[in-house]
Amino acid sequence: MRLNQYIASCGVCSRREADRLVEAGQVLVDGVPAQPGMRLQGTETVTVRGKKLQSPAAPVVVAWYKPAGVTCTARDPHAGKTISDVFRYPVRLTYAGRLDRDSEGLLLMTNDGPLIDAMMRGANGHEKEYIVRVKKRISDGDLHRLSKGIRLRELDQTTRPCAVERLGEKTFSIVLTQGLNRQIRRMCRAVGHEVVFLKRIRVLNISLGSLKTGQQRRIEGAELEELYRLAMPEKRGGL
């Protein structure tokens, strides 16, 4: 097994982030700094940031209502409040897909590295639904422009077409299938609007439902099977 895959399977982070940790010299294999791309035989001791990794535990997936003001990172000296400051669970879990600091709503937390990796890959086109409120009335024309795709010059990318539905004079829902940095805020700014409230209410088949800020619920049974089927078709729910 590749080292980055093993780190991800332990629920530490995605494979891409594991590669960054290796390059930063924060991963040791049998006490020696790891090398990018190395493979494990299965008998090695792996430590990340000084902590010995344990064999992957049974998959746990939790739906959590992330409060606004919480940064999606385990540790950051420049972040006022991080996930590790406010999220608690008996098993160590990591976020599967980010939600920016100023936004609130559904965040999936898990110890399943392959699921984290699948959810972090924008190319997989996973649906994520949001409720958005802007500062002033938004026209039907602007909503139509958002749905057709917006050129974001600062990222040198054009957003994918998406489903947009008006909910009020200043409020609408939007379903994205990609995850560019602060995408909705950038899209709204491109059509002359400032976002004042942003909440994610669904990721694939998992909905925020009646959860209140800071609350969580474990995903189990048929709902979990469906999540794996949608996020990782090759696994076909084999938990």
What is the per-residue DSSP string for the chain? -BHHHHHHHTTSS-HHHHHHHHHTT-EEETTEE--TT-B--S---EEETTEEPPPPPSP-EEEEEEPTT-BSSS--TT-SSBHHHH---SS--EESS---TT-EEEEEEES-HHHHHHHH-GGG---EEEEEEESS---HHHHHHHHH--EETTTTEEPPP-EEEE-SSSEEEEEES---TTHHHHHHHHTT--EEEEEEEEETTEE-TTPPTT-EEE--HHHHHHHHHHH-TTTTT--
From 19, 30, 100, 117, the catalytic residue: 100
Q: Is 19 a catalytic residue?
A: no
| Catalytic residue annotation | 100
